[in-house]
Amino acid sequence: MITDRHRRPLGSLRVSVTDRCNLRCRYCMPEEHYTWLPRQSILTFEETTRLVTIFAGLGVTKLRLTGGEPLLRHDLPRAVAMLRTVPGIRDFAMTTNAVLLGRFAGDLKTAGLGRLTVSLDTLRAERFKAFAGRGRHADVIDGIRAAEEAGFTGTKLNAVIVRGVNDDELVDLVAFGRSHSIEVRFIEYMDVGGATQWSFGDVVSRAEMLERLEPALGPIEPVQDGGTQRAPADRFRLDDGTTFGIIASTTAPFCSDCDRSRITADGLWFTCLYAVDGVDLKGPLRTGATDDDIAALIHDRWTARRERGAEERLAVSERGPLYQVEGLRVDPHREMHTRGG
Ligand code: SAM
Ligand code: SF4
């Protein structure tokens, strides 16, 4: 196991398989047009599998596919079938908006995907259309049902809470999760690249969420994990046993415990969501580097890692969006949908 300058292990890897998306969530991709990564730059499944194998050799045990919308990547179940065979990966998950999950849930399960996280911010179809820019709410609900039918268990539901948009649905979302045996995780709105409409006033903090949930749901107890989990969500339990989580990345960042890094679809490796630069892994992959060469590159970068991006953002006094649109156009790698959420 290798650790960084803050003794954080290299544990969890998120692989973005495409920067494209079929939604336009206002906190992630509010623009109608984007500059996409050139097709020839996108890693093949063979290249991705090779990289993941090298990372696993350095200690990565948790793998998550993400995007953009991962289900837009052609033939994704084939990638899943390849990646499931990588030695050392104990937890293999995917984050998806579920628009296409109805079509692919069965194939993903057969191919060996372990778990799913579905992103859904509202239970109201009209609101979804306004929030995500596309009227695909019914497809998402179908996708969630298809995942259950395909036999996925331990599914989680991510909901980004934005003040004045969906903060009146906290209780309804918990109830939805309970009825589908899905654990809901409320995510504080983050000022990541892409969130050009972000303002601190739109963030609903963990403390406020709990204050608003308790009168409707009764006593809320924190779930103690015995310090064994590096998961970013603080988990809570209701009297009836229902659990939910809150990811307070904006008001209470978990940098001190962050073992995550991310590979973009074109092979740039980022060791913090807020990092300015990534390490190019595609270049070495395509110019004859050996696995040992690439492992050495990863080792050197990780052992020098000092980033605590979300904590540094918390210290900024006049906080606004991380980038304006023009800043994002300079380099699409700054976008959340390119880095992978
Ligand atoms: N398209 C897939 C999806 O939406 O699940 C995967 C990629 S998406 C970038 C991954 C996660 O990042 C989603 O759960 C999304 O809600 C979250 N996300 C995107 N922008 C965010 C923001 N500004 N603040 C908090 N979470 C955000
Ligand atoms: Fe697409 Fe996911 Fe970003 Fe929404 S959060 S725009 S679904 S990548």
Contact 13, 267 (CB under 8 A): no
The amino acid at residue 239 is: D
Share of the chain above pLDDT 90, in %: 80
Query: In terms of C-beta density within 10 A (0-12 exposed, 13-18 middle, 19 or more buried), how is residue 276 classed?
Result: exposed
Q: Would the pLDDT of 283 be above 60?
A: yes
Share of the chain above pLDDT 70, in %: 98
pLDDT band at 89 (very low <50, low <70, confident <90, very high): very high
Provide the pLDDT for residue 322.
80
**How far apart are the CA of 91 and the centre of ligand 2, in A?**
23
Query: What is the residue-averaged pLDDT of the chain?
Result: 94
The atom of ligand 1 lying closest to the CA of 96 is 5
The atom of ligand 1 lying closest to the CA of 121 is 16
Kindly state the helix (H) or strand (E) to which residue 54 belongs, with its residue range: helix 45-57
The more confidently predicted of residues 281 and 336 is 281
**How far apart are the CA of 7 and the centre of ligand 2, in A?**
32
Contact 322, 192 (CB under 8 A): yes
Provide the pLDDT for residue 340.
81
Kindly state the helix (H) or strand (E) to which residue 78 belongs, with its residue range: helix 76-83
- To test the ligand 2 pocket, which listed residue (20, 97, 139, 192) has its Cβ within 8 A of the most ligand atoms? 97
**How far apart are the CA of 29 and the centre of ligand 2, in A?**
7
**What residues contact 112, with CB distance under 8 A and at least 6 apart?**
80, 81, 84, 92
**Phi–psi pair at 161, nearest 5 degrees:** -100, 125
Provide the pLDDT for residue 226.
65
Residue 110: both structure tokens together: 């057969």
Q: In angstroms, rounded to a whole number, what is the distance separating the alpha carbons of residues 150 and 102?
A: 10
Q: In order of start, what are the domains of the chain with their CATH numbers?
A: 12-339 (3.20.20.70)
Q: Whose CA is nearest to atom 8 of ligand 2?
A: 68
Contact 130, 159 (CB under 8 A): no
Provide the pLDDT for residue 195.
85
Q: In angstroms, rounded to a whole number, what is the distance separating the alpha carbons of residues 12 and 64?
A: 8
Q: Would the pLDDT of 228 be above 60?
A: no
Q: Would the pLDDT of 156 be above 90?
A: yes
The more confidently predicted of residues 275 and 86 is 86
* Least confident range of 74-83, 224-233, 268-277, 320-329: 224-233
pLDDT band at 319 (very low <50, low <70, confident <90, very high): confident
Closest ligand, as measured to the CA of 67 = 1
The more confidently predicted of residues 51 and 318 is 51
Contact 128, 135 (CB under 8 A): yes
Mean pLDDT of 258-285: 95
Q: Would the pLDDT of 250 be above 80?
A: yes
Our answer on whether the CB atom of 336 is closer than 6 Å to any ligand 1 atom is: yes
Other CB atoms within a 10 A radius of the CB of residue 238 amount to 17
Q: Would the pLDDT of 294 be above 80?
A: yes
- Identify any residues that bridge with 243 across adjacent strands, giving them in sequence order: 237
Our answer on whether the CB atom of 67 is closer than 6 Å to any ligand 1 atom is: yes
pLDDT in tens, 35-47: 899 999 999 999 9
Q: Would the pLDDT of 271 be above 70?
A: yes
Our answer on whether the CB atom of 60 is closer than 6 Å to any ligand 2 atom is: no
The atom of ligand 2 lying closest to the CA of 29 is 6
